[in-house]
């Protein structure tokens, strides 16, 4: 296929997909903590006597109630830090805990009882901010990450700075890059002209990994089995299957399943939500794989586009952004054009933008199911020429402005909500 869009912009789109659609094992916040801890242990060169882990409120919120993968039932910052130090492989980044063993888990439990790790709230303007400091006798190692789950900006050992990348607490470096490239018209253009060979390695992995964890969630007991329950109660037509598969993937992921997920915008739940409904619809409709890949481009990029303005962590539930992307992808599968895709996003956001994030945990699966349901309704409305009108609530004169409004609500309007939610969770 001939590439019609500007070559530089085309390359940036591919780069965005490569950056944002990467494998991760388990919920990304405890995994990020484990990764930073594993790196600190590597730099220290010995097992520490004492650890101090400082985390922003949103990291604490998203780590408090989710099982660290491979640990069976361990939760929280302390567990994530210690297991990262005990058995983590920092070279694996977001798959840092891929090789942990039962022995590692038992040692982690022992060290938790000994209170080797102290957790502190890090007062930072960044929603994603982690500093792990490890001590062995008179020696210490410090590793700091900010904004992205593997975004290490500072490494120190015994007062010597081994890495020191300047950063702003308020702004993620990728944010402006994405905003300079992403808009709905460009996303639609890219999805239509992209050479499938350029995206197939990324998206085939997303299909394989996210389908596998969804099937695992349907087969076995994880959380409260939202996905399996939906199928049991409502049957397995395409609408139910799309919700159930996405929910089942989250069921497994939130409850310690040791299968990787291809994430979106730093989140496995968002990666699951943006991909599985599109995959289910594409296969039920007998769409060629090329069509499914193009629909997944739209879904993933729409989700990334929204999150670039909202930020990776917020009091705003990321499943909403991802579901709006999935709805757009489903609309594309049905032959919808740019207008129908825009209307799908508008309809989704007008409906469910009020869902809060109260941390990573099993109920995320239910929020995903609700969000996907709303996105399917939004898609069917748009294909019938129905869309919520400008001036109705937060809906503006075009979809770009509507997304800007939602981002403003999520980033500014829900700042206090975030603080209150965190306070409720830790009281």
Per-residue pLDDT tens over the stretch 157-212? 999 999 999 998 877 666 656 777 899 999 999 999 999 999 999 999 999 999 99
Q: What angle do CA 194, 197, 202 make, to 5 degrees?
A: 90
Residue that the structure tokens 């995903």 belong to? 368
Under 8 Å between Cβ of 410 and 354: no
pLDDT at 312: 81
Under 8 Å between Cβ of 296 and 329: yes
Under 8 Å between Cβ of 77 and 65: no
In 3-state terms, what secondary structure has residue 75?
A: strand
Report the distance separating Cα 69 and Cα 240, nearest Å: 28
Smallest CA-to-CA distance from 68 within 112, 22, 124 is with 112
Question: Which tens digit of pLDDT belongs to each residue from 11-45?
Answer: 999 999 999 999 998 889 999 999 999 999 999 99
| Range(s) within the chain of domains with CATH label 3.30.1330 | 24-164
Burial class (CB in 10 A: 0-12, 13-18, 19+), 311: buried
Q: Which two tokens stand for residue 386?
A: 């129905």
Report the distance separating Cα 234 and Cα 230, nearest Å: 6
For the chain, 427 residues long, the average pLDDT of each consecutive 10-residue run is: 72 94 92 97 97 95 90 93 97 94 96 97 93 97 96 97 91 67 95 97 98 97 95 95 98 93 95 98 98 98 93 90 98 98 98 92 96 98 97 95 95 90 84
**Residues in the chain, overall count:** 427
Smallest CA-to-CA distance from 94 within 183, 33, 6 is with 33
Report the distance separating Cα 305 and Cα 308, nearest Å: 5
Q: In 62-93, which positions are buried (b, 16+ CB within 10 angstroms) versus exposed (e)?
A: bbbbbbbbbbeebbbbbbbbbbbbbbbbbeeb
Give 24-164's CATH code, choosing from 3.30.1330, 1.10.3470, 1.10.8, 3.40.50: 3.30.1330
Dihedral angle, C-alpha 62, 65, 66, 67, nearest 10 °: 140
pLDDT at 174: 61
């Amino acid at each position: 296929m001939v590439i019609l869009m500007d070559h530089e912009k085309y390359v940036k789109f591919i780069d965005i997909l490569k950056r944002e659609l990467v494998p991760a094992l388990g919920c990304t916040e405890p995994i990020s903590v484990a990764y930073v801890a594993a790196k600190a242990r590597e730099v220290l060169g010995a097992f520490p006597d004492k650890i101090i882990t400082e985390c922003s409120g949103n990291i604490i919120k998203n780590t408090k109630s989710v099982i660290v993968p491979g640990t069976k039932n361990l939760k929280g910052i302390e567990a994530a830090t210690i297991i990262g130090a005990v058995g983590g492989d920092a070279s694996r980044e977001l798959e840092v805990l891929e090789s942990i063993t039962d022995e590692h888990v038992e040692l982690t439990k022992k060290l938790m009882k000994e209170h080797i790790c102290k957790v502190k709230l890090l007062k930072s303007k960044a929603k994603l901010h982690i500093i792990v400091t490890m001590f062995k006798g008179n020696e210490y190692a410090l590793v700091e990450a900010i904004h992205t789950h593997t975004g290490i900006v500072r490494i120190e050992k015994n007062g010597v700075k081994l890495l020191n990348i300047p950063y702003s607490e308020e702004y993620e470096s990728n944010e402006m890059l994405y905003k300079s490239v992403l808009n709905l018209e460009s996303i639609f253009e890219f999805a239509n002209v992209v050479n499938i060979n350029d995206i197939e390695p990324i998206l085939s992995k997303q299909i394989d990994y996210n389908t596998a964890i969804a099937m695992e969630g349907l087969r076995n007991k994880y959380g409260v089995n939202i996905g399996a329950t939906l199928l049991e109660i409502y049957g397995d037509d395409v609408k139910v299957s799309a919700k159930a598969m996405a929910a089942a993937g989250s069921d497994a992921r939130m409850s310690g399943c040791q299968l990787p997920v291809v994430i979106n915008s730093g989140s496995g739940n968002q990666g699951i939500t943006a991909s599985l409904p599109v995959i289910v619809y594409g296969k039920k409709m007998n769409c060629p794989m090329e069509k499914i890949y193009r629909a997944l481009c739209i879904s993933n990029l729409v989700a990334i586009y929204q999150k670039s303005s909202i930020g990776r962590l917020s009091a705003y539930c990321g499943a909403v952004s991802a579901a709006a992307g999935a709805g757009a992808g489903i609309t594309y599968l049905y032959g919808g054009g740019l207008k129908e895709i825009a209307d799908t996003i508008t309809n989704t956001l007008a409906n469910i933008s009020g869902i809060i994030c109260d941390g990573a945990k099993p109920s995320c699966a239910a929020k995903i199911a609700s969000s996907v349901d709303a996105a399917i309704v939004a898609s069917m409305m748009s294909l019938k020429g129905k869309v919520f009108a400008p001036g109705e609530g937060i809906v503006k004169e075009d979809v770009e402005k509507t997304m800007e409004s939602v981002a403003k609500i999520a980033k500014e309007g829900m700042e206090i909500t975030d603080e209150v939610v965190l306070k409720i969770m830790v009281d």
